Amino acid sequence: MPTTLAQAVIQGERLAITRALTQIENNSPQGNMILEEIFPHTGQAHLIGVTGAPGTGKSTLVNQLALKLRHPPPGERPPSVAIIAVDPTSPFSGGALLGDRIRMQDLAGDPGIFVRSMASRGSLGGLASTTAGLVQVFDAAGFEIILIETVGAGQSEVEIASLAHTTIVVEAPGLGDDIQTIKAGILEIADILVVNKADTPGSENTLRALRTMLSLAHPQLTEMNHHGEMMKAEGAAGAAQDGRWTPPILPTISTTGEGIDELIEQLQAHRDYLEKSGEWQIRDAARLKNDLENLLGAALRAHWESSISQNDYQKVLARVISRKSSPGKAVEELLRGAGL
Amino acid sequence: MVDSQTKIRVLIAKAGLDGHDRGAKVVARALRDAGMEVIYTGLRQTPEMIAEAALQEDVQVVGLSILSGAHMTLVPKVLSLLDEHGLKDVKLFLGGIVPDEDKPELIKLGVDGIYGPGTPTQLIIEDIRRACQQL
């Protein structure tokens, strides 16, 4: 019998996993203890981020992806899959409506799948501040693939790239002109680009615009995509060329599952690339550094909050509101007042 | 400052063969506006799916919407499956069309609240908060 919640998590007990997730999500002292205890057991899972604008079909894609991963060709062992689906918290009420499960009903009844919805709780990067902690729970519990679906992200919600090993950016036809594709931000973080809803009119234009964008970033692609026969060229594009990874562009239709097999192939290819090139360790190190810095930032803030009185804070705030003191000046005063 | 603290998490589910989800959506929206985290599962959920979702989401409350008249079959099933999953402490609220004569039996089974058409959402919010001891 496991003696602690963390040990029960490591043994994969579902009730323990769900309770641990809640503790960590609530930032409770018990949650921190669990994270500490499970940490040595993490680092095994393939973390896959799925991001893109609202309504591009991320949840449906995740549903299909998990379904196909769990039903591989005969003879192959299906990996266990955890899904974390993040939806936005209302900035006004603090409440949230988490609706990603609606698209994931096919996954019910499979003990090799665990779906957890999560509210962003005020974070702006497309994830919640505790998403990384939830990932560690699933990782320690032995889930081999962890799919992380972000809030329907716009252009700069790129936090997922520092959490996941592989980032899938989901596009859909009809979301702006080709200039959108060369803007900085979300497209830059894609390891795999998916054009979902590929059966809708205009999907060819979206594919073309994305290919052009990629050909600017990865010149060797141009020739391969130049003369029709796009599908073949994309297949070849995924593999690492000259030791570099070129993001493949995959058309999919999530509602029917079309293109999902190719997506799974590319996920595996990307994982192989990460492992062979040493990028896996580099991304892992970057993620842990990011975690450390986030925690340090939060701890410093908590430390500061505990060392300044609410009264002093309100006084300084009042001076800013009455425009007697600039926000910059006020910060200096507050830090001095807190003895930092 | 929105800080991460304990939030009431509620699963709203449409059980059985019944596609009328306006009421469920109205309640889901009201609970969201009351600061709760509402997991909406969509239509035609089996009791097994509901209990499994309640486990995975670690909700304190399950809100079942049933307008098909099948509550005397579905509710006991959901309750016993919640038990099986180790979720004895999860509160079960029922919304929809429930004849008065069925209510005592349902309450005896362990249903924490039953709400018919026209119930003010504020009443449901207060009942949930009380059940979760946050009032």
pLDDT digits (tens, 9 = 90+) for A155-181: 667 788 888 999 999 988 876 666 666
Among chain B residues, the shortest Cα distance to A21 is held by B58
Residues of B whose CB is below 8 A from A122: 2-4
Q: How confident is the model at residue B127 (pLDDT cuts 50, 70, 90)?
A: very high
Residues of B whose CB is below 8 A from A114: 56
Which residues share a beta bridge with B38?
A: A97, B10
Sheet holding B37-40, edge to edge: A96-98, B37-40, B9-14, B61-66, B91-96, B113-115
Q: What is the mean predicted confidence (pLDDT) over B21-26? A: 89
Contact status of B34 with chain A (Cβ, < 8 Å): yes
Is B35 close to A108, i.e. CB distance below 8 A?
no
Contact status of B28 with chain A (Cβ, < 8 Å): yes
Handedness of CA A139, A142, A147, A150 (dihedral sign): negative
Residue of A92, A98, A110, A131 for testing the chain B interface, max B β-carbons within 10 Å:
A98
Is B7 close to A22, i.e. CB distance below 8 A?
no
Whole-number mean pLDDT of chain A? 86
Give the distance between the most distant pair of CA atoms in chain B: 48
* Residue type present at position B134: Q
Residue B86 backbone dihedrals phi, psi, to 5 degrees: 85, 25
- Give the count of Cβ contacts less than 8 A between chain A and B: 96
Residue B78 pLDDT > 80, yes or no? Answer: yes
Which two tokens mark A188? 């830059």
C-alpha angle A143/A289/A16, rounded to 5°?
30
Q: How confident is the model at residue A3 (pLDDT cuts 50, 70, 90)?
A: confident
Q: What is the mean predicted confidence (pLDDT) over B47-63? A: 95
Is A119 close to B7, i.e. CB distance below 8 A?
yes
* Residue type present at position B16: G
Report ipTM for this prediction: 0.89
Contacts 24+ apart (CB under 8 A), A270-274: A270/A165, A270/A166, A270/A191, A270/A192, A270/A238, A270/A245, A271/A46, A271/A165, A271/A166, A273/A239, A273/A240, A273/A245, A274/A165, A274/A166
Contacts 24+ apart (CB under 8 A), B78-86: B78/B15, B78/B47, B78/B50, B78/B51, B79/B109, B79/B110, B79/B111, B81/B47, B81/B48, B81/B50, B81/B51, B82/B51, B82/B54, B84/B51, B85/A14, B85/A15, B85/B51, B85/B52, B85/B54, B85/B55, B86/A15, B86/B55
Measure the CA–CA gap between B118 and A150, rounded to whole angstroms.
36
pLDDT at A231: 47
Measure the CA–CA gap between A155 and B8, rounded to whole angstroms.
31
Residue of B5, B29, B58, B129 for testing the chain A interface, max A β-carbons within 10 Å:
B58
Among chain B residues, the shortest Cα distance to A113 is held by B56
Contact status of B19 with chain A (Cβ, < 8 Å): no
* Residue type present at position B76: P
Residues of A whose CB is below 8 A from B53: 101, 108, 115
pLDDT at A179: 64
Is B56 close to A14, i.e. CB distance below 8 A?
yes
pLDDT at A340: 53
pLDDT at B13: 93
pLDDT at A235: 42
Contact status of B37 with chain A (Cβ, < 8 Å): yes
Measure the CA–CA gap between A126 and A114, rounded to whole angstroms.
21
For residue A282, give how far its alpha carbon lies from the nearest alpha carbon of chain B (Å).
Answer: 30
Over residues A49-60, the pLDDT tens digits come to 999 888 888 999
Is B85 close to A26, i.e. CB distance below 8 A?
no
Closest among B30, B105, B29, B99 to B66, alpha carbons compared: B99
Measure the CA–CA gap between A165 and A284, rounded to whole angstroms.
8
Residue A222 pLDDT > 60, yes or no? Answer: no
Q: What is the mean predicted confidence (pLDDT) over A233-252? A: 70
Contact status of B58 with chain A (Cβ, < 8 Å): yes
Over residues A9-51, the pLDDT tens digits come to 999 999 999 999 999 999 899 999 999 999 999 999 999 999 9
Residue of B56, B83, B122 for testing the chain A interface, max A β-carbons within 10 Å:
B56
Q: What is the mean predicted confidence (pLDDT) over A275-297? A: 88
pLDDT at A219: 63
Is A95 close to B34, i.e. CB distance below 8 A?
yes
Measure the CA–CA gap between A84 and A161, rounded to whole angstroms.
15
Closest among A71, A85, A109, A106 to A261, alpha carbons compared: A71
Is B35 close to A94, i.e. CB distance below 8 A?
yes
Measure the CA–CA gap between A169 and A181, rounded to whole angstroms.
12
Distance of CA B80 to the CA centre of its chain: 15
For residue A81, give how far its alpha carbon lies from the nearest alpha carbon of chain B (Å).
Answer: 13
Residues of B whose CB is below 8 A from A117: 39, 57
Measure the CA–CA gap between A63 and A67, rounded to whole angstroms.
6
Which residues share a beta bridge with B69?
A: none
Measure the CA–CA gap between B2 and B6, rounded to whole angstroms.
12
